[in-house]
Amino acid sequence: MFKSLIYVFYAALLVISVNFVSATESLQLDQSAVKVDDRTTQTKNNALKQAFKNVLVKNSGSQNAFSVPSIAAATNKPTAFIRQYGYQEVDGQLYLNASFDHQKVIKLLRDEQLPVWGKQRPLTLFWLSQETEGERVVVSDESMIETRSHIGDLASERGVPVLLPIMDLDDSMLVSVTDIRGMFADQVAAASARYSTDYFIMVSIDTTADNQVTYSMALYPSVSSEPLFNPLVQRSGTALDANAVIDEIFDVMSEYFVSRYAVADSGESLVTQLTFTDITERKQLVAIEQYLAQLSAVKYVSLIQLRGVSAEFSVQLFGTKEDLYRLLKLESKIKQQPVSVPASQGKGDPLVSSQSETINYIWLGH
């Protein structure tokens, strides 16, 4: 429950590659832990309301859901959605842990045609430059600074998977405080490649002589075919303290990721087909169908053709085909396999043809 979404990496001597755990497997989208002072009925009821709000934010990606009257009303009746709750004490702090019915939560959002942010979420590498004990440092996963803990808490609370760099010799040789403060994206992108994340973010936090906290941030894709001149999102401003900066950063990241990966019901019921190859066992077909069915972009899925080692599935969508393809690119359980096929052109002239590309998929899950 309290495992941070920031993963700890251990670098062995002379070992270049680093193995990472899938961020999506650690998401607990239907659970929330809320700090409480006691176990009284009033405290419990307030904590359950807050836990339910946290779960709604995790699954919608935004506080905007609470502006919808039916959603706001539902937050006052969390017991209608709850599965179980209990208490746990961690380092002297009492928590109320609550889990909610996933299907009911999603139905509540779908009924109001709100976007749903599913389990397929991008992983972001978090490069943070901050002053600590009079020295500017790049915050690593093993840093003892309070900001690092706050990043972990927010990652879990908001359902936004992030990594902090390990800052071993390789990282230190490529990235410095100056690179992050100067927003030198190409340099940081080169260091980010080893982590195989979907995005990286650079955040610089400074405290002025009059104790004002200022920050700047820029979000970039980890893989880009062009020079990184323009960030996907860029912000700067002031805040009360470093933790307040991190709060704002997570709001910015969530807003962008929801715009790309959360899917609302378009009402059009679009249908597309997906082909999986190298099918050798019947249980693979079952696993693929179950996997596709849980995607936030998918309304209904069925196997429509099995030919040799290839299987074709019909997929009815909540949104667009592009919504589906963006989610599939985030998934480690499948592998894309581009296939070039002849495409006749020139009004049927068989001598005038070119190669068009289609995508098949290989199932890597278990």
Distance in angstroms (rounded) separating the CA atoms of residues 217 and 135:
20
How many angstroms separate the CA atoms of 63 and 114, rounded?
Answer: 12
Sign of CA dihedral 333, 335, 336, 337: negative
Based on the fold, state whether residues 227 and 328 are members of the same structural domain.
no
Binned at pLDDT 50, 70 and 90, residue 24 comes out as: very low
Q: pTM value?
A: 0.83
Q: Output the average pLDDT for the chain.
A: 86
Q: Which of 261, 294, 311 is the last residue of a domain?
A: 261
CATH of the domain at 329: 3.30.70
Domain count of the fold of the chain: 3
Same domain, 243 and 130: yes
Give the Cα separation of 43 and 96 in Å (integer): 10
Asked if 96 and 87 touch (Cβ cutoff 8 Å), the reply is yes
Residues 281 and 233 in one domain: no
Residue 348 has pLDDT above 60, yes or no: no
Residue 55 and residue 32: Cα distance in Å, rounded?
A: 6
Domain membership flag for residue 23? no
pLDDT in tens, 137-191: 999 999 999 999 999 999 988 999 999 999 999 999 999 999 999 999 999 999 9
Print the domain residue range for 181: 121-261
265 with 319: CB under 8 angstroms?
yes
Is the CA virtual torsion 27, 1, 246, 145 positive or negative?
negative
Angle between helices 242-261 and 146-158 (to 10 degrees): 30
Identify the band that residue 338 occupies on the pLDDT scale cut at 50, 70 and 90: confident
Residues 250 and 324 in one domain: no
CA separation for the pair 58, 329 (Å, rounded): 21
Domain-located, residue 72:
yes
The CATH number of whichever domain residue 250 belongs to comes to 3.40.50
Strands 310-317 and 271-277: antiparallel
Residue 5 lies in a domain: no
Residues 179 and 130 in one domain: yes
pLDDT score of 352 = 34
pLDDT tens-digit series, residues 221-267: 997 656 667 899 999 999 999 999 999 999 999 999 999 999 999 88
